[in-house]
Amino acid sequence: MEKPRLSWQGIGVSSNPNQKEEPLSVHLLAYLQESAKTADEHVIIVADDMQVSNYIALNGLDEIKARKLALRKGRKKAKNLERICKANKLNNVKILRFNNVWGQKQETIFNQIRTAYQNDLEIKQAVDSIIPKRLKQRAKSGDLANYALKEIALILSVPGTKFGHEKEKAYDVVAKNIHRKYRIGKYPLFQYSELGLELVPDNGLKIEPYSSLVSNGRILLTDSKRRFLAKLKSMPKKAYGKVRKQFESVLEKGNNHFGERLYDKVIKPTRFALNRPKRMALATAAAITIISALSGSGLYVNADAKQIRQKHINDIPGFVFSGNIERSRKAVDDKIQKANQEIQGKYFIKDYFK
């Protein structure tokens, strides 16, 4: 079978607007590596704006706040996906956000689908069956069907083959039936992941690799080597086998244990790329502090540093100064060194008193 020129997939953000950090699973990387091979060019659509209607229905938020939270999550998710792809040389993968692809064409198809949903009982029942029961039970007000209808609108309008997993098949079937019945949009083409869903060791759940589920058992791209190897070691045989199947093909043969090779070759550089913005932020903060110390606000820093030094010197027992001069000098030098350490931790200035 000839590889298509273009494929695409949707990746969502958390349905919980208050969740600040979404875990970045090792399985997500395997899923991205697999999807990158499906076509010459692969597009990821971060479905952030689609969550607005869910935040309103599930959490009672007003539209302005719901959109602000959804777009903030989408911006962060898109940046992290870009860093993961860059670190792993997935150069044919392009990251877009929902509003980058949602135009007049999609809006027209969405309205046509919504009309079919409102007037065709069979279509309505099929769409409603897609909405997870856990969300229906939590809904306070609003329209939960909006998310599903926008997903179907994307399926019937975005060019290329849609790449996905088994949990998305229900959307795909409904989209295909709507097209056949009403000739709305384009005839959709699909390709499904051979790696499948991620198996969570803690509870045996099968979840999307990009799921926002927080679980101690999930192996993350942000794990330290020690934490990563400990998680891998404690995994049930079935879950471990799934990880091995996902990554064995991209690792070179070697004497080191599979986990060691996986971490050094894949996880470590990805973790470095994901943590780089935090390191840059700390470096910027340090630079700003130093500049402030050298400018007018430096007067405050200098006065505070002297107080810190004096506080440490005051801790020296009085009898030390009545004895040997060298011992007295050493005691003072030790206290100044401790003051320097405290000043560095507070102002990021090294060896303030040389």
Whether residue 342 has pLDDT greater than 90:
no
Residue 152 to residues 148, 178, 221, 279, Cα–Cα distance (Å): 6, 9, 31, 40
Token output for 120: 């065709």
User: Which residues lie across from 7 on neighbouring strands?
Assistant: 42, 161
Whether 216 is covered by a domain: the verdict is yes
pLDDT tens string 306-315: 888 888 877 7
* Structural domain count of the chain: 1
Residue 181 has pLDDT above 70, yes or no: yes
Residue 291 domain-assigned?
no
Least confident of 84-93, 109-118, 147-156, 286-295: 286-295
Position with higher pLDDT, 102 vs 292:
102
* Residue 352 belongs to a domain: no
Report the percent of the chain where pLDDT is more than 70: 86
- List the single range of 63-72, 264-273, 333-342 with lowest mean pLDDT: 333-342
What is the average per-residue pLDDT within 98-107?
Answer: 95
Place of tokens 């959307």: 171
Q: What is the dihedral of CA 342, 346, 350, 354, to 10 degrees?
A: -50
As a whole number of angstroms, the distance between CA 210 and CA 253 comes to 28
Cα–Cα distance measured from residue 114 to residue 178, given in angstroms and rounded to the nearest whole number: 11
Alpha carbons 175 and 35: distance in angstroms, whole number: 21
User: Is residue 210 situated within a structural domain?
Assistant: yes
- Which CATH number does the domain housing residue 66 bear? 3.40.50.11710
C-alpha radius of gyration, the chain, whole number: 28
- Say which residue, 156 or 134, is predicted with more confidence: 156
Q: Which residues pair with 281 in a beta bridge?
A: none
Placement of tokens 């097209």 in the chain: 179
Mean pLDDT of the 267-285 span = 70
| Residue 186, pLDDT above cutoff 90 | yes
* Residue 329 placed within a domain: no
Asked if residue 266 is part of any domain, the answer here is no
Q: Is the pLDDT of residue 17 over 80?
A: yes
**Position of tokens 């306070």?**
140
In angstroms, the CA 194 to CA 192 distance is 6
Q: What is the pLDDT of residues 204-234, one digit of tens each?
A: 889 999 999 999 889 999 999 999 999 888 8
Residue 340 within any structural domain of the chain: no
Q: What is the pLDDT of residue 117?
A: 96
Residue 45 has pLDDT above 80, yes or no: yes
In this structure, are strands 6-12 and 93-97 parallel, antiparallel, or unpaired? unpaired
Question: What CA–CA distance (Å, rounded) separates 264 from 182?
Answer: 52
Can you give the residue range of the structural domain that contains 96? Answer: 6-249
Q: Are 196 and 166 in contact (CB under 8 A)?
A: yes
| 274 domain-assigned | no
Q: Report pLDDT for 322.
A: 58
